[in-house]
Chain A
């Protein structure tokens, strides 16, 4: 039986693998969505990746993308939102796609626009070395104002100074793009624009990490979740669009309200999740409830610890019946059992979380605190944080961060109270949330990610420091001295590969 996936032909020996799921697109255009190509975004489209198949759903039916502001290039650099939020990459951008695009266009795609698709606009463009952060690590340059400006436009007087220790590309020490010029250049992964109803959901009115009720959107008056951007600098989809339009799209004139409304209407309809595992088969088979359909049909913002446990979508695979077993290959059976164990490990394997701002201070949980992955990845079905999720795992900050000679390094000196765990002087490649709040105590804090569609959008962590899912598990194992067994590591990897 032959299924045609968008741009990638798949041959399945077993006709039963996708039974009961959905028809796959009959057309086979390229996976890459170029701005302005005028395709129709289907109600459902599947993309193959290394782990299986990602499914993208568009609730309420297909969308004609001609002249749609998410897809049409409105500015001089020819980009659109879709450039960095590709359906095949779970509406993010994988390093694999970036490389494919480089090869296909000789580096002339709009993706590699000098402003942020190169390591620094001052570098000679069109040379691979000038785009190495995007091509090797999936990183886009993010230029932020220094000193800090809050999400509401209010200037903030930081309680820290920032110096450039290492600057591989001259961007932070040059005349235009570094702290001395009123900017900071940091490098981050594009976050997925899918399953957004979960990311803007507010389960509780309080942000325990900030010790305050959630801030209100001045337009709608509704509490803002704080889960949209890596540094929390935009609290609403509208603010995020304004920020992205002015920077990544280099629009001199802002999108108007009508265009923002059309984008918001579209992105709130997009759901993306792995639908099929090349190792375990259909992810909604055998009683499991994987795939994006359940995401589209469920209520967001539910806390797993007081409701439906996280990743219980795969609970049925804990007790595969004898009748089912005979329908599965030994490999598929073992994989499904591994996924189910991985969900248990994710929820139940506790370890000591230490010296992580946003968790161990100032919230009051104590330092250390014993908990599991779901302590922070706690929203049912998504794994993002019901309470806004700016925490410091150390992925960008010494001494916990892995060596990253390809990234700039900043020396932060706290001018008020020292940081509770790093002290007065901190070395970091990305101060994270501190570039939004201006607080030394927030250095290194990054907003937790949603965990859906991981298989489609490597590498991982905000700075792409984990090249694959095993890298994610290994980082946590090192950082918190968890002591996962080899089996537990593989179970976690398998779990994450089917989300």
Chain B
């Protein structure tokens, strides 16, 4: 149930007189220290908030596949959602990504303050148990690309995001039986100024990503040769699983079968 007060708060956050507007479908990108709001609607129901200091707008970034760490700064990349439920006390970004940075933060927790939070629901990108048979993708099995995406400057395969994507790719590749798989890691090494900081991924993270995914493919497709290469200076691509977030699409690995 959404309380009237929460709806009002959400509406106010979307239109802040005299300051800035947060319009539906706006893409925002900023760095800040995250705030945890201790709502309790059961397991994994706490809210994550991020204040964009440039505008004074508080965003609800709880929909990110990776949640923040209150000890560290966070890079927020998200789109203002058309569906503002006011559950957490901030303008909802969805889709949204949060990347934990190495810059330290003072941890901060807010009480629920009447915000209900959201009950955790397993939906979207999640892997089925091994006991659930995968549907065999139909032919033709022609060269194509599969993509995996990462947090800023990290090579960790994200739970309930990359595992889903890689499981889907592996299912197709098992059916297609390519002669070889080529993994290409990319890094967004071109510096960008975000919230007064110059952010650029390390060039070597491209290699780390490629090698991580190559190891994953060796485990999922034993016997299939896997090659790895890497490139820096990544540019955005248009792939549905990056959810229309250009920054996310730059931090990727491409899996490409060769027949």
Q: Interface residues, chain A, CB within 8 Å of chain B?
A: 202-206, 208, 211-216, 221, 223, 301, 303, 306, 350, 352, 355, 360-372, 375, 417, 420-421
Contacts and interface: CB of A to CB of B under 8 A. Distances in A.
A419 to B, nearest CB: 11
B122 A306 contact: yes
Interface in B61-86: 65-72
B42 interface: yes
A204 B212 CA distance: 19
A488 to B, nearest CB: 16
B71 A421 contact: yes
Interface of B: 36, 38, 40, 42-46, 48, 65-72, 100, 102, 109, 122, 127, 129-131, 154-163, 166-167, 212, 215-216, 219-220, 222
A364 B159 contact: yes
A368 B70 contact: yes
A39 B102 CA distance: 60
B127 A350 contact: no
Q: Identify the 8 closest CB pairs spanning chains A and B, nearest first.
A: A366-B67, A364-B66, A211-B157, A367-B69, A208-B159, A211-B156, A213-B219, A206-B163
Contact of B69 (A204, A206, A360): A360
Nearest to A364: B66
Contacts of A221: 222
A390 to B, nearest CB: 15
A235 B178 CA distance: 29
Nearest to B41: A370
Contacts of B130: 202-205, 223
A206 B213 CA distance: 13
Given A206-B127, A213-B220, A371 B71 contact: no
A213 B163 CA distance: 8
B70 A362 contact: no
Given A206-B127, A363-B159, A370 B69 contact: no
B209 to A, nearest CB: 11
Contacts of B159: 206, 208, 211, 363-365
A364 B67 contact: yes
A303 B71 CA distance: 31
B157 A367 contact: no
B46 A362 contact: no
A133 to B, nearest CB: 35
A213 B226 CA distance: 15
B167 A367 contact: no
B127 A205 contact: yes
Contacts of A366: 36, 46, 48, 66-69
29 contacts: A202-B130, A204-B129, A205-B167, A206-B157, A208-B163, A211-B156, A211-B158, A213-B216, A215-B219, A216-B219, A221-B222, A303-B129, A306-B129, A350-B40, A350-B43, A362-B156, A363-B159, A365-B44, A366-B66, A366-B67, A366-B68, A367-B67, A368-B70, A368-B109, A370-B38, A370-B43, A370-B45, A370-B46, A371-B44
Given A362-B156, A370-B44, 18 more contacts: A202-B130, A206-B127, A211-B158, A211-B162, A212-B219, A223-B130, A355-B71, A360-B69, A361-B100, A368-B36, A368-B46, A368-B70, A370-B38, A370-B43, A370-B45, A370-B46, A371-B43, A420-B71
Contacts of A213: 166, 216, 219-220
A369 B117 CA distance: 13
Nearest to A307: B129
Contacts of B122: 306
For the residues of B in contact with A, the DSSP-based class is loop
Contacts of A223: 130, 219
B26 to A, nearest CB: 24
Contacts, number: 102
A350 B42 contact: yes
B68 A212 contact: no
A363 B131 CA distance: 23
A206 B128 CA distance: 10
A184 B109 CA distance: 40
Given A206-B163, A365-B67, A366-B69, A214 B219 contact: yes
Scoring B66, B69, B109, B212 by chain A CB atoms within 10 A of each residue's CB, the highest score goes to B69
Nearest to A213: B219
B1 to A, nearest CB: 20
A289 to B, nearest CB: 22
A204 B127 contact: yes
B36 to A, nearest CB: 6
Contacts of A214: 219
Nearest to A372: B43
A214 B163 CA distance: 11
Contacts of B66: 364, 366
A211 B216 CA distance: 9
Nearest to B117: A370
B38 A369 contact: no
A301 B160 CA distance: 19
Contacts of A417: 102
Contacts of B216: 212-213
Nearest to B69: A367
B70 A367 contact: yes
B5 to A, nearest CB: 22
Contacts of B162: 211
B71 A367 contact: yes
B91 to A, nearest CB: 19
Nearest to A369: B44
A360 B68 CA distance: 9
A417 B163 CA distance: 25
Interface centre among B40, B46, B72, B222 (most CB of A within 10 A): B46
Contact of A364 (B42, B65, B70, B220): B65
A367 B219 CA distance: 30
Given A360-B69, A363-B159, A369 B219 contact: no
Given A367-B70, A371-B44, A211 B212 contact: yes
Contacts of B48: 366
A369 B46 contact: yes
A212 B157 contact: yes
Q: Give the one of A223, A364, A369 with max B CB within 10 A.
A: A364
Contacts of B38: 352, 370
A485 B102 CA distance: 38
Contacts of B71: 355, 367, 420-421
Contacts of A365: 44, 67, 159
A439 to B, nearest CB: 12
Nearest to B161: A364
